[in-house]
Structure 1
Amino acid sequence: MLKKYGRTFHLPQSPGATSDDKIMSDVGALVAADEVIFTEKMDGENTTIHSDGCHPRSIDARYHSSRDWMKAFAAGISPQLAEDERIVGEYLFARHSIAYSELPTYFLGFAWIKRDVVQPWDATLSRFADLNIAPVPVLYRGLFSEDAVSDVISDLDLSSQEGFVVRVTTAFADKDMPTHLAKYVREGHVQSETHWMSAELVKNGLL
């Protein structure tokens, strides 16, 4: 069965939140965690690989030529996945608001979900290694605090980075995403009034 990846809430201090977005009201689960991981929020298309193929976050999405690469890549991964297993990541073939010139590949994974549980970060990296999937870049690993958030924000280059995602490194049910995972997005992130699917296709660059 196809399953949509859950919505990621914004941290309270995220300047990129719009009226349509959800804001995390309580960061208590992040503060209480023994460890969290901050990863770069990549500017692409949220995509899930499952045992029968792949789909963007909007499961009923129409055909777009930029997705051909993703379908071919998923075809090599899907036979290795169990029916209750999903790999979620950012698909970066088409340029959106940020132009990437040195990507390691066009799909960067950030979650391994098994039986509706988001798996621990270290186990996720091991599964990615098994499947030859590159992970999103890590920005910080340690305790969650206002200082840690401020340090990560200050290290961002907001001309070339969208923001970050922070999550606990332990496993959690995907229904608990609103409390165990959050994002920070730069102000005015979307720079064009034309949606990328309606604009001319421009490929991002690889290393």
Structure 2
Amino acid sequence: MRDDKVLDEAERDEFLSGPLHVEEKIDGQNLGISGGEDGLLFQARGSYVQPGGRHFRGLSTWIEPRRRRLASALGTELVLFGEWCAITHSVSYDQLPDWFLIFDVYEKTAGRFWDPEMRDAFADEVGLFTVPFLAVGDFTLDTLTGLIQRSRVGHEQMEGVVARSAASTGPQRRAKLVRPDFVQQIDRHWMTEQHTMNRLRSSG
């Protein structure tokens, strides 16, 4: 289990000591969307980026019909984080509800990420989708690992899960658990290969 670091046994046990909210870890390109004086801003891994290019293929077209609503909802206070899923990385998806799946909303002044319920309400308000919800409750490492099954948005096994503390008070803690055989390839990374597109699920 890891967030920015690998948890040792004591940290793992502490993390598992309370209820957790668990979602599928989606294998996409991390994308942040925020509002500024000149309109929407896009960021990836801490750096501002422009829509388009091989990292964010299709983003320019996707954002246009949503630009005004998102700019109004985000203002200058909120940052929306999600996975841009147009390009296949290591896991292929063919049942996506949309190309962008939200996993976080960050409130700048409060210095805090919204809880999943607030995030989901925001997603509904702006007409977007969140990463797939899996379960909430108390877990052991084994039962948490048992949630790593077939993707909710595809036919392949999911990359892993992201668990966050479900307690209403206390620090916002989270960790990700990646399936044992999942390998983020170095010498044959998706960025160096011919791109394959994921697919949206049929509306019918």
TM bucket by the smaller chain?
0.7 to 0.9
Q: Distance in 2 between matches of 1:151 and 1:103?
A: 23
Match status 1:165 vs 2:162 = yes
**114, 118, 121: which one aligns with 2:107:** 114
Match status 1:69 vs 2:58 = yes
Q: Distance in 2 between matches of 1:137 and 1:109?
A: 10
Q: In structure 1, what is the equivalent of residue 192 of structure 2? A: 198
Q: What do residues 111-137 of structure 1 show as CA deviations (whole Å, max 9, x unaligned)?
A: 111122011111111111111110111
One-letter identity of the residue aligned with 1:44: G
**37, 40, 60: which one aligns with 2:21:** 37
Gaps of at least 5 residues in structure 1 are: 1-8, 12-20
Identity of aligned residues (%): 22
Q: In structure 1, what is the equivalent of residue 44 of structure 2? A: 56
User: CA 1:78–1:68 in 2, change beyond 3 Å: closer, same or farther?
Assistant: farther
- Over the aligned positions, Cα root-mean-square deviation in angstroms equals 2.9
Match status 1:85 vs 2:85 = no
Q: 1:123-162 residue pairs with structure 2 within 5 A?
A: 123-153=118-148, 155-156=149-150, 159-162=156-159
Q: In structure 1, what is the equivalent of residue 6 of structure 2? A: 23
Contact 1:167/1:182, CA 8 A, preserved across alignment: yes
Contact 2:82/2:101, CA 8 A, preserved across alignment: yes
Q: What do residues 3-33 of structure 1 show as CA deviations (whole Å, max 9, x unaligned)?
A: xxxxxx617xxxxxxxxx7202313553343
Q: Distance in 1 between matches of 2:92 and 2:144?
A: 25
Q: What do residues 149-169 of structure 1 show as CA deviations (whole Å, max 9, x unaligned)?
A: 14324x457953111110123
Greater mean deviation of Cα atoms: 66-75 or 137-146: 66-75
TM-score when normalising by structure 1: 0.75
Matched length: 184
How many angstroms does 1:88 deviate by?
0.7
TM-score when normalising by structure 2: 0.76
Secondary structure, counterpart of 1:27 in structure 2:
helix
Q: Distance in 1 between matches of 2:56 and 2:87?
A: 9
Q: In structure 2, what is the equivalent of residue 18 of structure 1? A: none
Q: In structure 2, what is the equivalent of residue 103 of structure 1? A: 96
Q: Distance in 1 between matches of 2:142 and 2:187?
A: 35
Q: Distance in 2 between matches of 1:83 and 1:171?
A: 26
Taking CA–CA contacts closer than 8 Å with sequence separation of 6 or more, which of the two structures ends up with the larger relative contact order?
A: 1
